[in-house]
Chain A
Amino acid sequence: MKNNIKIERARHNMTQQDLASRIGVSRQTINAMESNKYVPSTVLALKIAALFKLTVEEIFLLEEND
């Protein structure tokens, strides 16, 4: 699974720490998601989408091998 968290974060001019504090997770979690090392739970995906005022599908995208 790919995601556009880094792009959206840049667009909103947020650091990893800003985003982490806003959705109540650690900075490592944001970093792990951005580097595709961690697939977040549905709850976390929805929180991120809500924060960026987008749908989940606009941020998280399936890849061929998923």
Chain B
Amino acid sequence: MKTALLLPSRYKKIGILMLIPSLILGVLVRFNDFSFDFLTLTTGHSYVKSTPLNFDEVINFTDEMALTGIIVALLFIAFAREKQEDEFISKLRLESLQWAVLINYILLLIATWLIHGFSYIDVMVYNMLTVLIFFILRFHVLLFRNRSSITD
């Protein structure tokens, strides 16, 4: 069966290989203020237009690189075709996506009411990735369950 918008199945492996270093970099950036010096850019003017200060602004792109790596890797894993992607697998895929979006927003609503102030920024940071993560986990749990229930 033809399924639109899916990548060849090898992208799952590529995604996993990309995710590991990106995730390590992301954790280092987030918790250790780590940055690569070669990714530092000094602009002659203020990068952010609304900043009234008139001095050379220094921006480091390590966090941008980590987040890009994580998102691209998760997209690769999420949208890699299964080795045998047929109509039943497509159904599992769609159901998992629906489940992931629902769970994601339920958790976001709970967090909105329970977490306040600056900590809420953490919620937003993780929420950028959770839809994809929940989807990948749910889809693979369903695939695994169906594989292990095979009786012949």
Contacts and interface: CB of A to CB of B under 8 A. Distances in A.
A31 B150 CA distance: 6
23 contacts: A15-B152, A16-B152, A17-B152, A25-B87, A26-B82, A26-B88, A28-B88, A28-B89, A28-B143, A28-B146, A28-B147, A29-B86, A29-B87, A31-B146, A31-B149, A31-B150, A31-B151, A32-B88, A32-B146, A33-B88, A40-B88, A41-B87, A44-B87
Contacts of B87: 25, 29, 40-41, 44
Contacts of B86: 24-26, 29
Nearest to B149: A31
Interface in A1-51: 15-17, 24-29, 31-33, 35, 38, 40-41, 44
Which range holds the interface residue count of chain B? 10 to 19
B151 A26 contact: no
Contacts of B82: 26
Contacts of B49: none
Given A28-B143, A28-B150, A29-B86, 16 more contacts: A17-B152, A24-B86, A25-B84, A25-B88, A26-B82, A26-B84, A26-B89, A27-B150, A28-B146, A29-B89, A31-B151, A33-B88, A35-B149, A38-B88, A40-B88, A41-B87
